[in-house]
Structure 1
Amino acid sequence: MTLFEQPPPRRARPVEGPFAALARDRRRRRLWTVAIVVAVAVVLGGIVLLGTGADRAVVAWVQDQTGPRTLPADIAAVADHAFLTDEGRDLLTSVGAISERGDALQRSCGVAHAADDHAVAGCYGLAGIFVFIPSDPRVADAAVTTLTHELLHAAYDRLGPGDRERVHVLVGAALDRIPADDPVRRQIDWSVGDHEESRDTELFAYLGSQAWPDGGFDPALEDIYGRYFTDRAALVDVDHRVQGAVDGLFAEYEAALKGLAQAQADAMIARAELDDDRTIYESDRQLYQQDADRYNALDPAERGGWHQDWWGTDGVRHSGTWQEVLAARLADLDARHADLEARAAAVEAADADALARRGAIDAQYADVLAVTKALDPTAPAA
C-alpha cells in the first residue's frame, strides 16, 4: 500500500489549512490479502487456502491464470516512464492495474477511515494494482514510484524459494547501506508495523523503487531487480525529482516569505528613522526661525556685532557673524529637507515593493496549493 505522510510542522503558511497535505513523504504498506482470500474462499487443487503465508501465492496464481490484462491508457503512460523490461511489462499486464482517487481508491485499498497524517496512494492485492495519478504534470510521475513499488510486491510474490532466501539476505545487507536519517527507513518501519513477516517484501519494494546508493546494491540483488527494470538508477531518480519539485516549491515560497518579512522590517525601520529625523528637522527649523526672527528684529546697525557658534548635523563646529551662521543653518536645513524628501520617496517605493511581493507570494501560495491538491489521493477528481 502506498501512503503519503505529512511533513514536520513548519512555521510558514503551508502547514495551515489546505497545505496540511503538502509534501508528504511517501510511505508504502502492503495491502493484506488475507481478508480478500477469506472472502472469496479461493479453492486450489481441492484445498482451501485461507490467510497465513499462502494468501500471497494464491493471489499470484489467480492473477497469472486469468491471463494478461489490457492496461488503461493512463496506466500505460505511467508504465512508459517506469523503465520496465519486457518481463516487467508482462508482469504488470498479468497483475493488472487501474488508476483511482478519492473515496474509490480508499475503498479499493481497504481503508475504512482516512488518517490525519497519511493517505493511501496505491495498493496491490487480488484485484491487481490500484494507483493514484496526480493531476499536476509537475508531480504526475509520483505515480511511477507508486506503480513500481506495488509491482515489486507482485514480483516478490512470484519469486521462487531460492530467490526469496537470497533476497532475504540481500535486502537486509542493502538496508545497512541506507543512511539512518533517510526517510525511506521511516517509511519501511511504518509499512511493516507489527507484521514482521512482511519486512522482506517491503524492503524489496522500497529499496527497489526509491533507493540507489553509489554504484547500486549488491550485483546479485541488482540482477533480480534487473529482471523488471532497464535502468533502476533512473527509476529512483524519478522519485527524487518529484520530491525535489515539491521541496523546491516549498523552498521558493518560504524564501519569498522571508524576503518579504525582511523587506517589511527594513521598510519599517526606514520609516521610523525617517519620522524621527523629520521630528528633529522640524524642531531645528523652528529654532532657526526663532533665531532668524530675533536677528531681523535687531537694528541693522547692531546685527554685525553679534557672533555665534553653531554645530552642524555633521558634528562640525562653525563660527561667524550671526548672519553667516543663519545662512549656514538655512543651507543645512534645505539640504536636510531634500534628503528627507528623497528618503520618503524611497520608503514609499519600499512599501509598494512589499505590496507587489505580497501579490507574487499569493500567486506562489496558489501554485503550491494546486500541487497540494494534485498530490492528495483523497481529493475527488476536479
Structure 2
Amino acid sequence: MKRCIAVIISLLIVLLLAFAFMNRGVIKDHFVASTFDASPEIERLTESLDLTPTGERIFLASEPAIGGAEHFTAWCSGVNHSEESHVLGCFKRNNIFLFNVTDPRLEGIVEVTAAHELLHAVFARMTPAEQEALAKELRAEYDRLVTDSPELAERMQVYESLSPTAYANELFAVLGTEELSLSKKLEARYANWFNNRVDIVDVHEQVFSVFIDLRARAASLSEELTTLKASIEKRSDEYTASVAAYNSETAEFKDRNERFEFSNNVAEFDEIRWHLLDWHADLEDQLASLRTDTDRYNELRDELEGLKQIGAELDASMNSMPAPIIEAPEPSDQVEE
C-alpha cells in the first residue's frame, strides 16, 4: 500500500514537472507580471487598453516602459524599425518600450502603439508551428482586404523585404490594431487579448485622420494655388496689354481733339469718349478682381505654410514618425499686385 502511494506521488510529481515544463512560459509570465512595479502611466495605459486577463498578463510580463525622446532612443537603439518596431514603440529583448506623445492632437496614439507592441509580444510567445499556421491565416485575410484597400498595401509595403515569419509578425500587429472588419476566426484570436479590439481601431482611425485631413487639405490648397496663380498671371498679362492699348487710344483721342478734328463731328467725339470711359471702368474692374484674387492667393499660401508648420510640429512631437510631406510655394512664387 505504501509502495502504491509512493508510486502515485512520484507520478504526480513527474506530471507536475512535465506540466510546469510545457507551461514554463505562462508560469514565467504570471510571475513577472505579478511582481512588475508598473508606473502610474503604465497603469492608466493598461486600464485604457481594456485587455483580457491573458492580454494584461502578457503586457505586464513584457515590463512596458514609457518615456520621452532621450529614454526612447536609448531603449530602442539598434532596433531594425522595418522589422521589430512600430513608429512610436519597440519590442526589444522581450520588453515593450513606448514613446510618450503628449501632443493633444494625437491623443490615443500611445494606446494604439502599446496594442501593436503587445501583439508582437504575443507572436513571440507562439511556437514556430503556431506562427506558421497564423501566417497563412493572416496572408489570406490580407489578400481579401487589400483588394478594396490600397492603403493597406501601401502600409505593408515597407515590410516586403522581411522573412515570411517577420512579415507575419508585422501583419499580425497591423491588422489587429488598424483594420476594422476581420474574419470571425481572426476576431476570435484577437479576443484572447482584447476585450474590445474595435475601440483600438477607432482610436487609430481618429488619430491618423489628423494626417489624412492634413494631407487632403494641403493637396487641395496646392491645386487651388496652382490654378489661381495661372489665372492671375494670364489675366495680369491681358490687363497690362489692355492698359497699354487704352493709353494709346486715349493719347490719340486727345491729340485729335487738340487738333479740333471733332469740331464738326460731336457724335464721333461722344462715341469715342464713352467708349474710353467704359473701357476705363472695365480696366478698374479687372484690376479690382486681380487684387482680390491676389489677396486670396496670398491667404491660401499662408494657410499652406501653416499646414507645413503643423506637420513639422507633429513630426517633432512623434519623434521618429515621419509627418506628411507638405510642400508650400517658395517665396519667389508670391503674387504681387
- TM-score after normalising by structure 2: 0.73
Counterpart pick for 2:65 among 82, 98, 102 = 98
Code of the residue aligned with 1:347 in structure 2: it is L
Counterpart pick for 1:209 among 177, 184, 194 = 177
**Secondary structure in 1 aligned to 2:91?**
strand
Q: How far apart, CA to CA, are the structure 1 residues paired with 2:44 and 2:258?
A: 88
Counterpart pick for 2:287 among 327, 344, 347 = 344
**Secondary structure in 2 aligned to 1:239?**
helix
Change (3 A) 1:264 1:162: closer
Q: How far apart, CA to CA, are the structure 2 residues paired with 1:361 and 1:137?
A: 22
For 1:146, the equivalent position in structure 2 comes to 113
Query: Do residues 238 (structure 1) and 181 (structure 2) align?
Result: no
Relative contact order, higher structure (CA 8 A, sep 6+):
1
For 2:318, the equivalent position in structure 1 comes to 375
**Secondary structure in 1 aligned to 2:104?**
coil
Residue correspondence of structure 1 range 325-336 to structure 2 within 5 A: 325-336=268-279
Code of the residue aligned with 1:153 in structure 2: it is H
Change (3 A) 1:59 1:122: farther
Any unmatched runs of 5+ in structure 2? 1-16, 18-22, 323-337
Q: Which one has the bigger helix percentage?
A: 2
Asked if 1 retains the 8 angstrom alpha-carbon contact of 2:132 and 2:165, the reply is no
Q: How much is the aligned-residue C-alpha RMSD, in angstroms? A: 3.6
Query: Do residues 259 (structure 1) and 224 (structure 2) align?
Result: yes
Q: Aligned pair count?
A: 298
For 2:88, the equivalent position in structure 1 comes to 121
Change (3 A) 1:201 1:137: same
Asked if 2 retains the 8 angstrom alpha-carbon contact of 1:95 and 1:154, the reply is yes
Asked if 2 retains the 8 angstrom alpha-carbon contact of 1:250 and 1:368, the reply is no
**Secondary structure in 2 aligned to 1:233?**
helix
Query: Do residues 65 (structure 1) and 31 (structure 2) align?
Result: yes
For 2:138, the equivalent position in structure 1 comes to 171
Q: How far apart, CA to CA, are the structure 2 residues paired with 1:269 and 1:126?
A: 63
Asked if 2 retains the 8 angstrom alpha-carbon contact of 1:132 and 1:377, the reply is no
Q: Following TM superposition, by how much is the alpha carbon of 1:162 offset from its aligned partner in structure 2, in angstroms?
A: 8.7
Asked if 2 retains the 8 angstrom alpha-carbon contact of 1:78 and 1:141, the reply is no
Deviations 1:154-195 (A, max 9, x none): 223445799667635533432332315645456556547454
Code of the residue aligned with 2:106 in structure 1: it is V
Change (3 A) 1:168 1:113: closer
Asked if 1 retains the 8 angstrom alpha-carbon contact of 2:105 and 2:210, the reply is yes
Change (3 A) 1:182 1:111: farther
Q: Following TM superposition, by how much is the alpha carbon of 1:247 offset from its aligned partner in structure 2, in angstroms?
A: 1.7
**Secondary structure in 2 aligned to 1:124?**
strand
Change (3 A) 1:327 1:148: same
Q: How far apart, CA to CA, are the structure 1 residues paired with 2:162 and 2:301?
A: 48
Deviations 1:75-103 (A, max 9, x none): 44444443433442333223221123545
Q: Which one has the bigger strand percentage?
A: 1
Change (3 A) 1:293 1:363: same
Asked if 1 retains the 8 angstrom alpha-carbon contact of 2:90 and 2:98, the reply is yes
Between 219-228 and 326-335, the greater mean CA deviation after superposition: 219-228
Q: Following TM superposition, by how much is the alpha carbon of 1:278 offset from its aligned partner in structure 2, in angstroms?
A: 1.0
Q: How far apart, CA to CA, are the structure 2 residues paired with 1:257 and 1:187?
A: 25
Code of the residue aligned with 1:95 in structure 2: it is S
For 2:241, the equivalent position in structure 1 comes to 276
* Percent of aligned pairs with the same amino acid: 20
Deviations 1:212-232 (A, max 9, x none): 33xx21x23322211211222
Query: Do residues 359 (structure 1) and 302 (structure 2) align?
Result: yes
Any unmatched runs of 5+ in structure 1? 1-44, 46-56, 305-321
For 2:56, the equivalent position in structure 1 comes to 89
